[in-house]
Structure 1
Amino acid sequence: MSNPAGVPDATSVMRELHSTYCLCGEPRNGLLSVPDVLLLYLSSVLRNDQTPPPECSPEAWQSLLRHLYPHWATPILYGYLRAWDEECLPPAEVMEMIRRDYLMGRVHSVQMDRQLGEILTAAEDHGIRMLILKGPALARSLYPDPAMRGGSDLDVLVCPEQVEEAESLLTALGYRCDENKFAVSSNYYHEETFYPDRIDPGHVAVEIHWRCTPSLGFVSPIPLEELFSRAVTVRTGHLTFETLAPRDAFLHTALHTVVGHTRSIRLIWIHDIALLAGRLRVPEDWAAVSEASRVWRARNAVEIALTMARIWTGFTPPPGYDDFTRWPTPSDEEEAIWPALLKKDDSVPSYLKLKVSALPDRREKIQMLRYLAGRHLRNWFR
């Protein structure tokens, strides 16, 4: 922050990377429109590196908060800033808005714990094994305070042979499913969303996953049995649940961020990646991730995810894993889909090509295209 000559260099790296792998918001990359000095201050907070705030107008600070909103990152900022020296804090009115978001996240975290506990108890009673994914799991396994890591839904991973049981369980608990994606095509889709029917503002949607990777041009050959065998147990004050082992959670988060949301990436996911990578043991976990990145067809995704983590949070892989030329090369399948992947959010043909190419045979491809065409017509005439 003290070297103005370094400002353009640091932020130009951000802009260059996110010109392809865009940040979410309206418009895309709106966060990058704030003054460079504010971007660097934001990065220093994500690094938890105490830095005096820049001199900026109230309008510039408001612009930062507005563009941060879709990234769900302000509770993380408050989690770090509340321990900083006063001279390093943003203006009082900005700090108060960040604190309010954090307090809302705290209430939401308690409500989500209650909802998750209800689902886990019912699943255990019915002999359904679930692994908790993404936000709820990371909030309670990575973060010192779960309120720092919000989420919009609950994600659970279930073996395919128990998906229908899990769907019936959620229906019995008062959730509704507007589509039956698993029955339509478990290859084309990888998740099913259930919405709470009850009138309760504290309840969120629940997504049942039967695969750990999105169906975009390939289906990861990783058997779910392996993921379940490596699962770890998380115990909090009121909850006990299973989630992915650190190396699997890292690969899953990289794929979810870069492949699943190529041009709508949240800053909170980049922060997750940095924390997950920081939990990997040297050398065993890093060696396993390096080898598995090719098997999972996530080699490109891992490199991009770690590059974003370095730019925003300063995380650097340990020696021996900080040079990607020494990592396994991407698989042929991953390389083949990458050009279409970069266009999928702006091109319906590219998106359909990726999705349909994940289907195992020509017959299922034709059936799925007919189903999608029929659904489109039904929506058109509503």
Structure 2
Amino acid sequence: MQDTEALLCAALRGDNPAWPVAGDVDFIAGFLERSAYHGVQPLLHHLVKPEQLVAPGWPQAVLAECHRQAITWTMWELRHQALLKQVLALLAGVGVQPVLFKGTALAYSLYPGPALRSRGDTDLIVSLVDRVRVAEALEDLGFLHEAGVSGDFISYQASFTLTEASGSSHSLDLHWRINNSQLLARLFSYEELRARAQALPELSPHAFAASPVDALLLACMHRAGHKQSPYYMDGVAHYSGDRLIWIYDIHLLARKLTQDEWHEFMGLATQKELRAV
């Protein structure tokens, strides 16, 4: 496990590492399992170039699976993008401007191509007063509200999923507060995030994403939160904030911040008592 994680990290750093154990079928299987869990197979396909490796040896099975996942996510992204454009245009038409955050926002603002940032849904936050009409608009487009825990003091989000005839599904997590934790829910309001939000023209003329400073704080909060609340993959609960795609998000955000934004980040982290995360 440790060797697998070390190899993944080296590849994501761009070190062009040699494959350590030629012909070890169990190591190959473990690498594919862990790279899938970490959500980085499309990213590995982009970063690992066989002709640039310091030594040959990366198994064809690994390269082929990463290539297959890159194609799969590209096809998913094309349809997801089309749906998001439709959703955002509809909401703009009724005067609602959601703020995107986490995966999709980062996919379109940080990554060379959005399909490199694998994700299961799109997170967007709206004002409390708009949540009902946004939900109705999504249902009008064919999204189904997934049943979950109800109650204003239990959950501050609702999931909507559109399943197509092909079997492909696309989910939106509609938030009216940033987090379900009572402690964290009020740290960032929609109004605060919208005031600092930046346009996301790569996605849609109606798309806005959390600012880089807010996005970095939210990424740190998200990672810390999954140490207590599980992340589900194939129905299995995982308690960890060390999923590599989340850490890569933080790496790209940190690299993007200017000196002034770093000062703003530290000030905001202090103000909101988030320095520990």
Please give the range of the TM-score, normalised by the shorter of the 2 chains: 0.7 to 0.9
Change (3 A) 1:63 1:131: same
Q: Using the alignment, how far apart are the partners of 1:83 and 1:248 within structure 2?
A: 37
Matched-pair contact (CA < 8 Å) for 2:42–2:69: yes
- Equivalent residue number for residue 270 of structure 1: 247
Q: Secondary structure at the match of 2:200?
A: strand
Q: Partner of 1:196: helix, strand, or coil?
A: strand
Alignment deviations for residues 52-71 of structure 1 (CA, whole Å, 9 cap, x no partner): 22234132121111122222
What one-letter code is carried by the residue in structure 2 that aligns with 1:239? S
1:21-47 alpha-carbon deviations (Å, 9 max, x no partner): xxxxxxxxxxxxx252x3322111111
| Cα deviation digits, residues 206-225 of structure 1 (max 9, x gap) | 11111223424343344432
- The residue aligned with 1:217 is 183
Q: Does residue 273 of structure 2 align to residue 297 of structure 1?
A: yes
Give the structure 2 partner of residue 173 of structure 1: 141
Gaps of 5+ in 2: 229-238
Secondary structure, in 3 states, of the residue corresponding to 1:300?
A: coil
Corresponding position of 1:69: 36
Secondary structure of the residue aligned to 1:204 is strand
Matches of 2:253 and 2:189, distance apart in 1:
22
Gaps of 5+ in 1: 1-33, 302-382
Mean Cα deviation higher: 261-270 or 244-253: 261-270
2:263 alignment counterpart:
287
Question: 1:94: Cα distance to partner?
Answer: 1.4
Measure, in 2, the Cα distance between the counterparts of 1:134 and 1:223. 15
Query: Aligned partners of 2:273, 2:186: CA distance in 1, in Å?
Result: 7
Aligned length: 263
Query: Which is further off, 199-208 or 169-178?
Result: 199-208
Alignment partner, residue 235 of structure 2: none
Higher helix share: 1
Cα distance in 1 for partners of 2:55, 2:180 equals 41
Tell me the SS of whatever aligns to 2:20.
Answer: coil
Q: Which of these residues, 48, 51, 62, is aligned with residue 94 of structure 1?
A: 62
Q: 1:243 to 1:93 in 2, by over 3 A?
A: same
* 1:153–1:205 contact (8 Å) kept in structure 2: yes
Separation in 1, partners of 2:51, 2:221: 33
User: Which of 110, 119, 124 in structure 2 is aligned with 1:156?
Assistant: 124
Give structure 1 regions of 4+ aligned residues with deviation exceeding 6 angstroms: none
Give the 5 Å matches for 1:43-54. Answer: 43-54=9-20
1:205 is matched with 171
Q: TM-score, normalised on structure 2?
A: 0.86
Instruction: Output the TM-score relative to the length of structure 1.
Output: 0.64
Q: What is the root-mean-square deviation in Å for CA atoms of aligned residues? A: 2.2
What is residue 233 of structure 2 aligned with on the other side? Answer: none
In terms of fraction of residues, the more strand-rich structure is 2
Partners of 2:125 and 2:175 within 8 A in 1: yes
Q: Deviations over 1:234-260 (max 9, x none)?
A: 122x63311000000111111112114
1:121 Cα deviation from its structure 2 partner? 1.3
Displacement, 1:133? Answer: 1.8
